[in-house]
Each structure stands twice: as C-alpha cells, then as structure tokens.
C-alpha cells in the first residue's frame, strides 16, 4: 500500500516535470498497425503533437510514457514486458486502441491474453479502432492531466415499465418496413434511414395526393439526381401499396 | 527566401488547433455509440450484430432482469448496432473523446425488466418488447375487439401458450393426437 502511494506521488511529480517534453515509446504487442498509422498521423504537421513536446522516441530507455497498442498476444508478451522493464520508473502506461484496452475484436482468439491491462497497471485507456489523431491527442492530454476526462460509466435500471412506441407512428409497419428497406438498399443504412424518415414524414402528414404533390416538389428542387431517384423509387412502392389496398377495399 | 515566406503566408497554417478549439469531424463520422435507455426494447439485435462482442446481453431469469452492457474499450465503432436497432435506441454520435483513467468509466449498463408468465409465473421476455409487439400489431390494423385477447396471449410464455393451444384443440376432439405427439 505504502509503495503504491509513493508511486502515485512519483507519477504526479513526473507529470509536473515533463510538462513540455514528453517522450513516448510505442509498444506493439500484436496489433494490425492501424493504431501505429494513427499515432504517426498525430505527429504529422496537421495535428502536430510535437507542439506540446510529445515526441515519439525509438528506445524505451528514453521514454516517460509507454503506449501499448494491439492485443496482448502470447508471442509478444515477453518483449512487451521487457520494454516495460526497460523504461525508467516512474512511467505512465497508456492502453491504446480497442485491442490495447480489452483485446478488441481479437479478445477471444486463442493466443490473445486481453488488453495491456492484463499484464501492466494501465493509467489511461484510449478506445477507438483506431483512435483518430484528435482522440490520440486528447488521450495523451488526459494521461498528462492537462484535460479532464469526459466519459463516465453509466448505469440504468428499469423501475416501472415504459412504453416504447414504434419509430414511425401513424404509418403501417408493413409500409414503413418496405420503404425503409428500399431506402437502405439504395443508399446504405445511414442515409437510407434519413431518406426513409423524410419520406414517411410526408406519408404521415397527408393523403395520397398530398404526398404525390410533395414528392414532385422535392424531386424538382433536388439538385442531386441520385437522391431524386431514391425518392422516386420510394414513391413507387407507396403507390403500388396504395393501389393494392384500394383494390382489396374495392 | 522572401518568396518562400510569401508563399507560407499565403497558404496559412495547416495545423489544427485541436485541444484549444473543437476539431471538425467528417460527416458520417463514427464515434461513440450513444445509448438511449428510454427507447431500448431489449431485443438483443445489437448484441447479436456486434462483431467484437462489445455489446453483450444477459438474461437473469431468477431476478427477472435482462441486462445490457456495452464496453466502449472493446467497441470498434463499426455502426452495426446502429444499423440493426429497430427503435433507434443506439445511435453513433460524433463524440471521439473517450479516453478514461479507469475501466469502469468505459462501461454503460442497463437493466430491463422481464415479464412474468400469467399462467406459470416464470420470467420469459422483456416487458418492453411485448409492449412494442402489441403496439406494432395495433398499428398494423389489429381489430379493436381483439386487443384484450392478444394481450392475454402475449403475457403467456411459449410453453404455456403451446399447452393452451393444445387444450383448446382438445375441445375440438384432437387432444389425444396432440398429447400423444408430445409424449
């Protein structure tokens, strides 16, 4: 216990001393190199980590901060331990990337121990697959106590049953499903959902004629022919559906 | 030299002022998946779709809760959960500042109640999911007179429902066949 407290003191002192000159050594414990590329992205002139004195060095003996990237694999754990021992105490240990934090997508592979925290005491986790250069800068700033941590663990519990209404209220689920599926097929889930929501909003607001008029307006004003095409094919589905319903009713 | 300086002044600064000014992320940037507890129906589609098992779901039948858990430290920000969520309860945001000093801060947990079977009293499905199914059925045009009966049927666990269907069939003289088939 006493030793731990002393280590925390030493780390605080270290952070105070290395304020404008942080030497970072990165240890690849078995990653895919995505994280490495982003680390190098962070020291290019665009993000320029060196303006904060953050410098990537070639030897753990020079390092104040160790960046462990990649899942901790069986083959790389000994080199990783050697790098850790070679770095002078006190040092700051950062687990970098999804793999470094918890094994990431490789967490259940036969040769994977888990993240860097399965072997070393980790000070800061930087999640991301890979973390963007901006996330890297933020993470390093958190590790050096320059910025505040933003993310907080959350815990929800249901006390009484709440009602969840379907997303497109007022539109038949069958129609909503067909429209959404077609929109997603044509333009992917992200834009497809937006387009489907926009179209279904028209459906919710008015009857067949109103929808027809609105869609024609939208297509006329739309500069992107691809979007107009998507709207047209959504409209086709709606028209067919209404025709079917009309025939059944008749 | 002067030429170079002029050129440099023309081009301006390429370096972003990130920690001092917010950085602009690209449209469609895949950042932290934000969970909206009030819209989750505990269907588990996200847990099934999640490639690195960052989202997990556990069913505790003893306590009657279904627990949802995401580990941002394992998430690869692929957006599959966002894609499959039927109610939009989990949506990727543009937030990328996720660094945390403790592992606990990387978790988001939720516990949702399970519904008790009105016949045998065993927990079997999330209440919210049943409510959602009923709401969807109503929107699809379930006749007003049938609501009560459907609610009763939805609150039965699959086993009891099968038994009930069997006994209902029995009143029409086919019980022997059904029971015989099961034994």
Contact B14 A142 (CB under 8 A): no
Picking from A127, A131, A154, A204 by the largest number of B CB atoms within 10 A of its own CB, the best residue to mutate is: A127
Angle at B46 between CA B42 and CA B47, to 5 degrees: 85
pLDDT of res. A189: 87
- Tokens encoding A108: 């259940």
Q: Could you read off the pLDDT of A126-158 as tens digits, one per residue? A: 999 999 999 999 999 999 888 888 888 888 988
User: A149, B15: Cβ pair inside 8 Å?
Assistant: no
Among left, alpha and beta (phi > 0; psi -120 to 50; other), residue B88 is left
Q: Categorize the per-residue pLDDT at B138 as very low, low, confident or very high, splitting at 50, 70 and 90.
A: confident
Give the integer Cα–Cα distance in Å for A210 and A202. 8
Using CA atoms, how far apart are residues A60 and B56, in angstroms rounded to an integer? 37
Task: Name the DSSP class of B87.
Answer: S
Nearest by CB to residue B76, choosing from A45, A105, A167, is: A105
CA dist A115 and A100 (Å) reads 5
Give, for all 250 residues of chain A, the pLDDT tens digit: 567 778 888 888 888 888 789 999 999 998 899 999 999 999 999 998 888 899 999 999 999 999 999 999 999 999 999 999 999 988 899 999 999 999 999 999 999 998 899 999 999 999 999 999 999 999 999 998 888 888 888 889 888 777 888 877 778 888 888 999 999 999 988 889 889 988 888 888 878 888 888 888 888 888 888 889 999 999 999 888 888 878 877 6
Pick B105's closest partner by Cβ from A51, A135, A149: A149
CA-wise closest residue to A49 among B78, B15, B9: B15
Measure the CA–CA gap between A242 and A236, rounded to whole angstroms.
10
Half-sphere exposure of A82 (CA within 13 A, CB side): 8
Q: Which candidate from B51, B100, B141 shows the least CB-CB separation from A125?
A: B100
* Mutation to test the A interface, candidates B60, B97, B99, most A Cβ within 10 Å: B99
Inter-chain CB proximity A135 and B53 less than 8 Å: no
Contacts of B98 in chain A (CB under 8 A): 126-128, 131, 135, 150-151
Does residue A115 contact residue A102 with C-beta atoms inside 8 Å? yes
- pLDDT score of B152: 85
Interchain CB distance below 8 Å, A164 and B41: yes
């Amino acid at each position: 216990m006493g030793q731990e407290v002393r280590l925390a003191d030493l780390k605080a002192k270290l952070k105070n001393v290395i304020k404008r000159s942080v030497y970072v050594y990165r240890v690849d414990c078995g990653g895919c190199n995505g994280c490495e590329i982003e680390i190098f992205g962070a020291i290019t002139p665009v993000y320029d980590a060196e303006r904060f004195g953050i410098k990537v060095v070639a030897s753990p003996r020079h390092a104040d901060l160790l960046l462990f990237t990649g899942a901790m694999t069986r083959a790389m754990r000994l080199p990783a331990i050697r790098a850790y021992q070679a770095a002078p105490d006190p040092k700051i240990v950062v687990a970098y990337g999804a793999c470094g934090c918890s094994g990431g997508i490789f967490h259940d592979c036969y040769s994977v121990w888990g993240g860097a925290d399965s072997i070393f005491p980790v000070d800061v986790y930087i999640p991301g697959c890979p973390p963007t250069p901006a996330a890297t800068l933020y993470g390093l700033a958190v590790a050096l106590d320059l910025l505040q941590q933003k993310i907080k663990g959350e815990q929800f519990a249901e006390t009484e049953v709440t009602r969840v209404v379907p997303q497109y209220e007022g539109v038949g689920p069958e129609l909503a499903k067909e429209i959404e599926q077609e929109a997603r097929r044509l333009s992917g889930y992200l834009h497809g959902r937006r387009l489907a929501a926009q179209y279904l909003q028209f459906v919710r607001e008015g009857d067949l004629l109103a929808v027809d008029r609105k869609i024609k307006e939208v297509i006329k004003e739309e500069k992107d022919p691809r979007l107009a095409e998507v709207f047209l094919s959504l409209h086709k589905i709606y028209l067919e559906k209404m025709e079917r319903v009309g025939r059944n009713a008749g | 030299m002067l030429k170079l300086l002029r050129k440099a002044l023309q081009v301006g600064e390429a370096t972003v002022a990130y920690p001092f000014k917010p950085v602009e992320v690209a449209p469609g940037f895949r950042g932290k998946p934000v969970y909206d507890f009030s819209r989750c129906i505990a269907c588990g589609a996200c847990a099934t779709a999640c490639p690195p098992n960052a989202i997990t779901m556990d069913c505790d039948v003893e306590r009657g809760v279904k627990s949802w858990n995401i580990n941002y430290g394992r998430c690869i920000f692929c957006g599959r959960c966002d894609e499959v969520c039927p109610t939009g309860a989990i949506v990727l945001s543009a937030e990328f500042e996720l660094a945390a000093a403790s592992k606990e801060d990387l978790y988001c947990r939720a516990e949702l109640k399970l519904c008790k079977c009105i016949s045998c009293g065993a927990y079997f499905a999330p209440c919210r999911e049943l409510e959602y199914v009923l709401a969807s059925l109503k929107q699809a045009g379930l006749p007003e007179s049938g609501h009560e009966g459907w609610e009763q049927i939805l609150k039965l666990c699959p086993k009891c429902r099968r038994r009930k269907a069997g006994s209902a069939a029995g009143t029409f003289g086919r019980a022997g066949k059904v029971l015989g088939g099961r034994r």
